[in-house]
Amino acid sequence: MNGFTCFREFWPYYLQEHARPGTRALHYVGTTLVIALTIGALLLAERWWWLLAAIPVAGYGFAWAAIA
What's the pTM value of the predicted model, to 2 decimals?
A: 0.67
What pLDDT, on a 0 to 100 scale, did the predictor assign at position 43? 85
Q: What is the pLDDT of residues 13-63, one digit of tens each?
A: 888 888 888 888 888 888 898 999 888 888 887 777 777 888 888 888 877
Q: How far is CA 24 from CA 9, 11, 54, in A?
A: 21, 15, 21
Confidence of residue 7 (pLDDT cuts 50, 70, 90): very high
- Specify whether the CB–CB gap between 41 and 48 falls below 8 A: yes
Return d(Cα 29, Cα 59) in angstroms, integer: 9
Q: Taking 60 as the threshold, does the pLDDT of residue 1 lie above it?
A: no
